[in-house]
Structure 1
Amino acid sequence: MTSVNRFIQFNNETIDARQLMHYENLARALSKHNHVIINERKLMEFQPVEQTIAISVFWRHREIDIMHAGRLSDIYLLMEGFWKHFDIHAWEDFQSTRSPILSKLLDQLVLLMEEFRLMELIQKKRIGTVKLFKVRVQTYLAFHKQQLRINSQKGFLADAFLNYVFIGMYEGTMHTTGPRDFDKADILIQKVYECKSTESVTELVYQLYDLMQDILLHDTKLQYYAILSASSISNTDFHYHQGMKESELGEEEKKDTIEEVFRSWHRENKQETGVHLQYELEHGRDGKADLDGAAEEGREGHEITEIGQGQSTGDSREINQTEVSNKKSDSMKKAGKEFGKEHVNVVYEEKRMEVLANSQSKQLLQRYRQEQAPFVKSFVQEMKKRMEQKKVDKRINLTKGRLSSKQTVLWTDERPKPFYKKNAPSQQLNAVFGLLVDGSASMQDKLVETRKAVLLFHDVLRELKIAHEIALHYEDAFEASEETQPNTFEWIHKLEDGPSDNGQEILSIESHEDNRDGFSLRWMGKRLVNRPEAHKFILMFSDGEPSAFGYAQNGIMDTAEAVVELEQKKISVLHLFLNDTEASEEQLKLFHLIFGKRTATASSLEKFSDETLRMLKKILQYVVKST
């Protein structure tokens, strides 16, 4: 079977997940709002409904220092500036009264001047941001100067005027040249230094409009600012019903700042009242009808809430099948928020691997073990030798312990330390392992070598009496929907199994559909976190990037977050990329973004086992050394 290439990417740019997490932590610290999420969009903006702020892609493809400083300046502007000091009342009043003719230009002028005002405010409060904003201003000045020339040549006067105002604010109008009659606005542009509030900025923009409305006949073609959409400001436009409790009416008071808007949306999302009941209040709810004899009008698409079966002797297989499906759904666990925001609708089941034991599989298992026996024996002997060496190692030059036979230090050293200690012998390595095996469909052509690698892993740890767990993980792509994403973990070997031989289970590994890596890592982490061993490791065998329902865009970021979360819990995550060819530079870069330096690749199917052994050797050498 030909290999399935899972690296079809329509956007070749991958997210620097760890860097974004750093920015996210900064945003949360500045806002004191622990639910803020960061992403990248065309323009920097707030998205209260999703509890998200966006930094601009404007900073991509620049020198690293400039890109980093620019993104930080976005975050400071959003979270230290607009978050706290942008007046929502003044903004709404302005939008309701401004001229519709140049509405886009006027909105962007307000946001442009607010950015200037807030930058001054932030730099006075946080001196350390001065360098960041200096980089920001210089970069945007070069951009607006270029755009001023282009827009002037094309006759886009409204866009050119916006560029002209930006340059005039930061460089002074004396050194700014633009299309004819733009200089009429020079005096007003300088008044931006006098603006102390959002309201004073809107008044200045009104004055600019009165002055330039006869010159600027068409609105802007491009958008330079987004910040906040009008639809996300107000979430209280409900049609209240008689009989609603006061606590269910939502919040009627208007919000003063973006911070209040965010926190209001967060409260609404947590509660079952408010916004989420609007559909139910307006249209009724799906459920059992009251048994008062009243008829209920049916409607297309209405979900089945009960199934009735008559007493006729017809075929009831369909109903029985439905009952089995419902029982299976009820037995599955709900992930909720415990496993990350991307998995709130995930349901999962944990079960033992079904073994198809027969004479052929037993012979195959015996053959695999005969092939691997020399490697297992050599590896185990080496580890035991290292452990034995550790037992007899001496710690010398101590102030207490056993008296050394070399007493010359009593005369040669000013402060002699003539004692030594032997390290206490260790019966076994103080470590625990969890192995997650990718059960996605693309693993089909790699199953034989994957089984061999997993078997080698299992046999080595059994010989060394190291606790370990092996699980196959996958998502049911056919049953997955927006409401629910069913996942399965098939235990091949459980922690509780001890040294039991689960070779037949390993040979029963099969491919299924999708893989939700971030969720699976957190699941395995939960299994290991309370273990008594000093060293905890999770190995992930996969042949590509995360792929599951609604997980394509955020899977990389979520998996990287899961890795960092586990590292904070003292659980090390290692990754082995299973492939039949050399990994591309793009693939290597992606895995380094997710797993950091703890990732390895197998360049061919035959090298899966070799790479597995190499990874185990490095890990166990570290464990022996630190014991």
Structure 2
Amino acid sequence: MKFLVFADTKIDSFVHMQLIDLSRSLSKVDKMDVSFSYHSYLERSSGITHVSQFWNPYPRDIQLEGWKSDVYLRSYGTQFHTDDHVIWDTLNKLKSHPHREFLKQVLLFAEDYRLEQICVNGRPGMMHAFKLRKETFQVHYNREYRKHIQQKRTLDALFCHIILLANKRFVAVPQETQELYQELRSLLTKLTTAKSTEDIAAIITEMAAITQKHLNLNDMKTAYRSFSDQSQQSKTTGESEQNFDDLTRNNETQTKKTITKDEDSDKDKDDKEKESHSSWHDETSDPQDSFLQMDLDQGTNTDLLGEGAREAESGDAVFGSVQTSAKRTDNNDFDTQNEHEAETDNNQSGSDSANHFPYGEVNKNVTEHFLPAKPATLDEIAQYDEYNQEIAPFVSQLKQNFLKTMEHKRTAPREDLHFGRLGKKLTRLATDKNPRLFRKKQESQQELDTTFTLLVDCSASMFNKMEETQKGIVLFHETLKALRIPHSVVGFWEDAADASTNDQPNYFHEVISYRNSLHQSGAPIIQLEPQEDNRDGYSIRRMGEELAKRPEQQKILLVFSDGEPAAFDYESHGVLDTHEAVTRTRKLGIETIGMFIANGEITEEEEKLMQNIYGPQNVVVPSASELVDYLMPVLRKLLFKSL
């Protein structure tokens, strides 16, 4: 487990989630992600807004506003107001130009300048972030200007001069570029008033013709801005078009049958056009990845199909498109048949359900494996008895305090009622218009309507904490067992060795089950051992589902963990996914509490991490040896809350 790290800088996971929410809200793209990259740009095909690591070294307030300005510029500006194809076409035309990098940087800066004006005019709330961005860039590019002058990179210095000039900051034009600047001056003025990407591209084309005359100047060496890669966009678009062609059967090749029988009839205009569908079997030389696939009755690639016709079945893919478009008519008496067809439609018409991932998109390839507790060995029983004796005084104290409080609540009378037994405060009869003079004893409550699940992180980073953690689990089990409260204890981890892009095996080791929790020994708790990775979001969702099935009214999910979730292709999304899992579980009526076990000293990042995931319902334990001391008040509060 580790924090989100990029370029040796820790990124606050809560800030990352804020930027993702902001990007999705502005771009109107539900799955828009935010990535920390060298430059800021929008990767439209992949749905990623890249924010620049330029802001990493700055103080927290400037850093956050800088990242927000990147999101504003890309998710709102570029998303709706930039023509990517115009940018790509212009850059392609400049590939052979001797000053292509200089022209590219001016093109991208001019586009960002135009987008900034659009953002501020359309969303005045963005003004503060862009003002701070401009002030920061003035200082940065002024420093870069001086550096380029010393290094004698004239076009680099001229580019910094252009940016500073656009931001009302004046510096001298480099001596070697005086003539070029005078020729470009009118065009640079036009750039600040351009209304579209096409206008900017046209001006850059004019600038290219002028700069080509100054071959004595070397091209820029520094890249301050980037744009999305056209090849990646084309690849994604090509795949989409291919899939669409498959569905519409536009890419199918004709078989011999389609070109032998109707070859001569093409000249006859009266003949109707015949539609043909390709078929595939084991001897087909070039099978197509088509939606429509049928089997031949004969094993040779001839122009004749088999004589026997195959009876259609309702589940055939051939008839899928017909079934999904079928509708029930108002004027028929075939109620039974129509009901059956309607049911089939509901099952097959739902591309949304096919694309919906109940446990989150980052968990779509997770496969789960449940491991029951093994019979405890003699060593495990002895180890458990040792832990049990050590925590017995704590269990006894919790039990006695709870039972006394519960008995007091049962016997304490309710007063100030309109009916019941007459109370002692009779003076209200004279002082109050509507006196409440009666009282009534509490109804006796035999058992608590509460259940618990303890989810234990069994990742590799728990190797030096598991022994003390087991003591906390023993306290949890023995206390609830003494109070006759059903509960379960489950360890979770992901097998990193077998994890791949298409399969991420996750294991749940249930050492204490609901059905046996009130009378079984807790010795299987000792079987919990450090394993490999942890996918907290998926585990919380699954255990939340199991807990929601319980009949008890109050359900509590307690999570022991020691750091940020880390699993296969999960590190950059782990905190957000776990936060969403906690939110979703709480919406099911399950109280979800996280207990973070630190390594001896609680850092600010660890506190923020737990706050970002669990909100105020989290407890940070300095070390595993203090887990029992911190767990006691948590259990006491939860138990008293259930009364």
Same fold (TM over 0.5): yes
Partner of 1:220: 220
Q: 1:342 aligns with which of 336, 358, 362?
A: 362
Show CA shifts across 1:178-218 (max 9, x none).
Answer: 31316523332222343111000111222333344445733
> Which letter maps to 1:574?
I
Partner of 1:20: 16
Partner of 1:437: 456
Would you say the 8 A contact 2:367–2:503 is kept in 1?
A: yes
Would you say the 8 A contact 2:565–2:575 is kept in 1?
A: yes
Partner of 1:229: 229
**Offset at residue 14 of structure 1 (A):** 2.7
Residues 390, 444 of structure 1: CA spacing in aligned structure 2 closer, same or farther, 3 A cutoff?
same
Would you say the 8 A contact 1:240–1:249 is kept in 2?
A: no
> Which letter maps to 1:24?
I
> Which letter maps to 1:91?
I
Partner of 1:32: 28
Show CA shifts across 1:561-594 (max 9, x none).
Answer: 4344444555444333446744555555544554
Partner of 2:174: 179
Query: Residues 141-220 of structure 1: matches in 2 within 5 Å?
Result: 141-171=138-168, 175-180=170-175, 181=178, 183-184=181-182, 185-215=184-214, 217-220=217-220
Show CA shifts across 1:84-106 (max 9, x none).
Answer: 11113322331232353322332
**Offset at residue 149 of structure 1 (A):** 1.7
Query: Residues 594-605 of structure 1: matches in 2 within 5 Å?
Result: 594-605=613-624
Would you say the 8 A contact 2:466–2:530 is kept in 1?
A: yes
Show CA shifts across 1:322-349 (max 9, x none).
Answer: xxxxxxxxxxxxx993323332222111
Partner of 1:82: 78
What SS does the corresponding residue of 2:631 show, helix, strand or coil?
A: helix
d(CA) in 2 for partners of 1:400, 1:221: 89
Which is further off, 587-596 or 459-468? 587-596
d(CA) in 1 for partners of 2:141, 2:189: 18
Partner of 2:568: 549
Partner of 2:43: 47
Query: Residues 125-524 of structure 1: matches in 2 within 5 Å?
Result: 125-171=122-168, 175-180=170-175, 181=178, 183-184=181-182, 185-215=184-214, 217-234=217-234, 235-237=236-238, 245=246, 247=248, 337-358=357-378, 360-391=379-410, 405-406=424-425, 408=427, 426-497=445-516, 499-524=518-543
Would you say the 8 A contact 2:593–2:614 is kept in 1?
A: yes
Residues 63, 508 of structure 1: CA spacing in aligned structure 2 closer, same or farther, 3 A cutoff?
closer
- CA-atom RMSD in angstroms: 4.0
**Offset at residue 7 of structure 1 (A):** 8.6
**Offset at residue 524 of structure 1 (A):** 1.7
d(CA) in 2 for partners of 1:222, 1:212: 18
Show CA shifts across 1:393-419 (max 9, x none).
Answer: 677778999876435556667997777
Residues 9, 20 of structure 1: CA spacing in aligned structure 2 closer, same or farther, 3 A cutoff?
closer
Partner of 1:270: none
> Which letter maps to 2:172?
T
Would you say the 8 A contact 2:4–2:572 is kept in 1?
A: no
d(CA) in 2 for partners of 1:575, 1:248: 52
**Offset at residue 63 of structure 1 (A):** 3.6
The alignment status of 1:103 with 2:123, answered yes or no, reads no
Would you say the 8 A contact 1:38–1:55 is kept in 2?
A: yes
Would you say the 8 A contact 2:560–2:597 is kept in 1?
A: yes
Which is further off, 597-606 or 100-109? 597-606
What SS does the corresponding residue of 2:9 show, helix, strand or coil?
A: coil
Show CA shifts across 1:406-445 (max 9, x none).
Answer: 3555666799777778776654445432212222344444
Q: Which has the higher contact order (CA 8 A, sep 6+)?
A: 1
Show CA shifts across 1:23-77 (max 9, x none).
Answer: 2222222222211111221222223454221222223343433333222222221
What SS does the corresponding residue of 2:396 show, helix, strand or coil?
A: helix
Q: Give the number of the structure whose alpha-carbon radius of gyration is greater.
A: 2
**Offset at residue 479 of structure 1 (A):** 2.3
What SS does the corresponding residue of 1:94 show, helix, strand or coil?
A: helix
Which is further off, 162-171 or 526-535? 526-535
d(CA) in 1 for partners of 2:418, 2:202: 78
Would you say the 8 A contact 2:44–2:79 is kept in 1?
A: no
What SS does the corresponding residue of 2:519 show, helix, strand or coil?
A: coil
d(CA) in 1 for partners of 2:241, 2:624: 64
Would you say the 8 A contact 1:540–1:576 is kept in 2?
A: yes
d(CA) in 2 for partners of 1:135, 1:6: 32
Q: 1:121 aligns with which of 118, 121, 127?
A: 118
Residues 560, 157 of structure 1: CA spacing in aligned structure 2 closer, same or farther, 3 A cutoff?
farther
What SS does the corresponding residue of 1:339 show, helix, strand or coil?
A: coil
Partner of 2:348: none
What SS does the corresponding residue of 2:10 show, helix, strand or coil?
A: coil
d(CA) in 2 for partners of 1:378, 1:219: 78
**Offset at residue 521 of structure 1 (A):** 2.1
Would you say the 8 A contact 1:169–1:192 is kept in 2?
A: no
Would you say the 8 A contact 2:460–2:533 is kept in 1?
A: yes
Would you say the 8 A contact 2:488–2:517 is kept in 1?
A: no
d(CA) in 2 for partners of 1:135, 1:383: 56
Query: What's the TM-score, normalizing by structure 1?
Result: 0.75
What SS does the corresponding residue of 1:196 show, helix, strand or coil?
A: coil
What SS does the corresponding residue of 1:607 show, helix, strand or coil?
A: helix
d(CA) in 2 for partners of 1:213, 1:401: 100
Which is further off, 463-472 or 110-119? 463-472
d(CA) in 2 for partners of 1:121, 1:367: 69
d(CA) in 2 for partners of 1:49, 1:240: 13
Query: What's the TM-score, normalizing by structure 2?
Result: 0.73
**Offset at residue 81 of structure 1 (A):** 1.1
Would you say the 8 A contact 2:4–2:13 is kept in 1?
A: no
Would you say the 8 A contact 1:475–1:548 is kept in 2?
A: yes
> Which letter maps to 1:205?
I
Residues 11, 127 of structure 1: CA spacing in aligned structure 2 closer, same or farther, 3 A cutoff?
closer
The alignment status of 1:70 with 2:89, answered yes or no, reads no
d(CA) in 2 for partners of 1:518, 1:225: 36
Unaligned runs of 5+ in 1: 251-279, 285-289, 295-334
What SS does the corresponding residue of 1:171 show, helix, strand or coil?
A: coil
d(CA) in 2 for partners of 1:238, 1:179: 48
Would you say the 8 A contact 1:15–1:557 is kept in 2?
A: no
d(CA) in 2 for partners of 1:609, 1:205: 68
What SS does the corresponding residue of 1:337 show, helix, strand or coil?
A: coil
Percent of aligned positions that are identical: 30
Would you say the 8 A contact 1:39–1:55 is kept in 2?
A: yes
Unaligned runs of 5+ in 2: 252-285, 291-295, 302-354
**Offset at residue 163 of structure 1 (A):** 1.8
How many residue pairs match? The answer is 544
**Offset at residue 292 of structure 1 (A):** 5.8
Show CA shifts across 1:264-288 (max 9, x none).
Answer: xxxxxxxxxxxxxxxx98999xxxx
d(CA) in 2 for partners of 1:616, 1:60: 41
Residues 596, 60 of structure 1: CA spacing in aligned structure 2 closer, same or farther, 3 A cutoff?
farther
Would you say the 8 A contact 1:347–1:487 is kept in 2?
A: yes
